[in-house]
Amino acid sequence: MQQVNIRFTSSGYVVRIGSNLLPRVGQETRAIARSPRAAVITDAGVAAHYLDPLLASLRGAGLQAEAAVVPAGEASKSLTQAGELYDRLLRARLDRGSVVVALGGGVVTDLAGFVAATYMRGIAWVAVSTTLLGQVDASVGGKTAVDHPRCKNLIGAFHQPSLVLADVSTLATLPDEEFRTGLAEVVKHAVIRDAQLFGLLETRPDPILGRDPDALEDVVARNVKIKADVIMADPHESGLRRILNYGHTVGHALESAAIEGSGKLGGAPVTHGRAVALGMMAEARIALARGLIGSAPVERQRQVLKRFGLPVQLEASVDLERCLALMQHDKKALAGRLRFVLPEAIGAVRDVDDVAEDEIRQALLSLTSD
């Protein structure tokens, strides 16, 4: 097992990464709780595999644990669903000393973290992350949110968990497409911050793709360290943390445009990971056209994404003008400027706010003719 400590001025928490961590959740949660009540929030897909052992661990540690199971999928990240969960917590008589345990991937940790952030003005929560995306990104850093019908993650709060457990054994049951979505964020972390990790992804992809537990523990721990460094320097995204949005400015717009259109991205049903992979390719092409980066590192990024089964070519059916219009709506542009994180080398990026619409159009077009 590996451990990454996250420290802020007046608080901190631990991220533990390893195999078979679920049995220890009870004792660890008991140590955090100031009352004997806890609630597990999870989704139907994850519950089938892991809810019973988790409840057994919590109850075995002396906690009165209730479970609330929400439907799997992004639609559960709503204020309506959050409202139902407040009712559940109230009925289970959770008080200010109780703990919410989020069991699942990014949707569940965003939603359960948001409910924990707002119930009684904020109670403690533990993230037990069961997807690669959750383990390398969503469960670490305290971003919690639900979606507004017109904008993803619009309603939320920064509320750091008290503990994060990334059990790599749970990745064995993860569908391939979800695993790939996590790999897109892994490539992102390597490109923005860690040339050594990038080298590992290039030279030793097979144990990762084969989901070898030791390889996964190593990769997840390296990614958590990268994310920890960034969020410790900038917990509320007023500066450095923005680099974590590499690939996402274009990616989010592509994701929405493709969902509105054919539902396909890079030749398969849209996923966040597919959108981020294409977003990283588009943003790298913007940097290339500006002379910020050479063609060799952009090609290296392309090859690694391809090796991980992520798309690097954009089909003509995606409406690029719609994508450009959606980008203008991106909430990060609410302050008036569209910000981009552009790579300067493998392991180094720059935050810019002067990218013209035509630069984005040209970069997207270049991906349709690859």
Does 143 contact ligand GLY by CB under 6 A? yes
- Range list of H helices, 160-239: 176-193, 195-203, 205-209, 213-233
According to the binding rule CB under 6 A, does residue 280 interact with ligand GLY? no
Name which of residues 310 to 339 contact ligand GLY (CB under 6 A).
none
Name the one residue in this structure whose structure tokens are 């403690």: 124
Taking the least distance from each CB to ligand GLY, the nearer of 237 and 315 is: 237
Cα gap 365→289, rounded to integer Å: 13
CA distance between the termini of the chain: 42
What crossing angle do the helices spanning 272-289 and 357-368 adopt, rounded to 10°? 110
Active site residue 322: no
Could you confirm whether 241 is annotated as catalytic? yes
- Residue nearest to ligand GLY as judged by C-beta position: 244
The least distance separating ligand GLY from the CB of residue 137, rounded to whole angstroms, comes to 5
* Residue 255: active-site member: no
Three-class SS of residue 3? strand
Q: ∠ CA 40-118-96 to the nearest 5 degrees?
A: 70
Return the number of the residue (137 or 330) whose C-beta is nearest ligand GLY.
137
Q: Which amino acid is at 13?
A: Y
Catalytic-labelled residue, pool 222, 242, 252, 274: 252
Report 42-61 residues binding ligand GLY (CB under 6 A): none
CA distance 187 to 180: 10
**Annotation says 306 is catalytic:** no
Nearer to ligand GLY, 219 or 244 (CB): 244
Q: Does residue 241 touch ligand GLY according to CB under 6 A?
A: yes
Stretch that binds ligand GLY, among 41-49, 176-184, 237-245, 294-302 (CB under 6 A): 237-245
d(C-alpha 92, C-alpha 98), whole Å:
10
Q: If you count them, how many residues does the chain have?
A: 370
Residues that bind ligand GLY (CB under 6 A): 137, 141, 143, 237, 241, 244
Positions annotated as catalytic residues are 121, 143, 185, 227, 237, 241, 245, 248, 252, 272
